[in-house]
Amino acid sequence: MKNIIGLVLNILLITGLLSCEKYIDFDEDATTSKIVLNSMISTDTTFQVHLSRSLSVIDAGDLTPISNAIVAVYNDAGSLIETLVEDTLGYYKGNQLPEEDVNYTIIAEALGYTDVSATCAIPMLTTISAWDTATINTFSNSTQNETELQVSLEFTDANQTNNFYMITVLAVDTAWGGSYSFPVYIRTMDQKFGSDYADKSSDKLLFNDLLFDGETATFTLTLSDVSYISYLVLNLYSCSEEHYLYNKSYQTATETTGDPFAQPVQVYSNIKNGHGIFGGAQLASKIIYM
């Protein structure tokens, strides 16, 4: 495959050698710096927002944080919940815990920038009703034995709403007295995830309930590189649609960066007049001791 891609690139290179190249004007006026608002809310963490500035792609400057902005949170009745306070550079934090199923609107204002706003709600929590594991492969490479673990988890999807989920697995190693954790790459052939993960492994699986709406479904995952691990943390996130769309598109964008044959990817944003993401999620976890 690399040879084929190499040949194709050589052909394109030959074409390129015959071609002319010149710099042309880029309409920078269309890309004035905007506020970038990043925030994910959950019921167990107070409001937390990061503000930074966007730049034109041809601007070599830094994507610096925005200080001294006014960041306010409103509920769906339009009442002010709280005004966040800048904690560290660009990070604005509050004292209130968001509630489930309430539409929150964040508005950020900063000098020299157009105001931005975004709205989202934290979806209802979906819990893991059952889980199981099975060791499916043990093999040796040149230095050590490797184990693949098959994990199944079950949960019930709420009916009558469009629901979105994310699954991640964290490996924790406490062998050396401390605690070292890293994400585990997951493979799955389970069709309920759709076709996006059929031929690759990912550190997070993002999916909607289109194929199991209102049902109790069991999902099967295969985890690699889980030898010599103390325990695994199986995470099931119930995500807002914004959270899902952003992470899904961001995942696709990062996977295809540098591939000249891949279609361009638009990363989702729900920030009006700006960039970034304001989403919500709730987490249900299970610990799997190895």
Give the residues lining the site for another protein (CB under 8 A). 1, 3-5, 7-8, 10-12, 15-16, 18-26, 30-31, 34, 36, 38, 40, 50, 52-60, 63, 90, 195-196, 198-199, 245-246, 249-250, 252-257, 259-269, 275-277
As measured in angstroms, the least distance from the Cβ of 4 to another protein is 5
What residues contact residue 30 under an 8 Å CB cut-off, 6+ apart?
A: none
Kindly state the smallest distance separating residue 176's Cβ from another protein, in Å.
Answer: 21
Closest distance of CB 253 from another protein, Å? 7
Size (the chain), residues:
290
Q: What does the block give as tokens for 241? A: 């649609």
DSSP 8-class letter at 29: G
56 or 152, CB closer to another protein?
56
Write down the least CB distance from residue 75 to another protein, Å. Answer: 23
H or E element that contains 12: helix 2-17
CB of 243 to another protein, least distance (A): 10
Question: Are 36 and 274 in contact, with CB atoms under 8 Å apart?
Answer: yes
- Complex with another protein: residue 275 or 286, whichever CB lies closer: 275
Distance CA 152, CA 81 (A): 40
Backbone angles phi, psi at 79, to 5 degrees: -85, 145
Smallest gap from residue 85 Cβ to another protein (A): 17
Find tokens 């030898």 and name the residue.
Answer: 227
Cα separation of the two ends of the chain: 38
Which residue number, 63 or 175, has a Cβ lying nearer to another protein? 63
> What tokens were used for 120?
């989202």
Cβ-proximal residues to 183 (8 Å cutoff; 6+ apart), any chain: 168, 169, 170, 171, 203, 204
Q: Which is nearer to another protein, 16 or 214 (CB)?
A: 16
The kind and range of the H/E element at 178 are none
User: Quick one: 133 or 202, whose CB is closer to another protein?
Assistant: 202
Q: Give the residue with the Cβ less far from another protein, 31 or 150.
A: 31
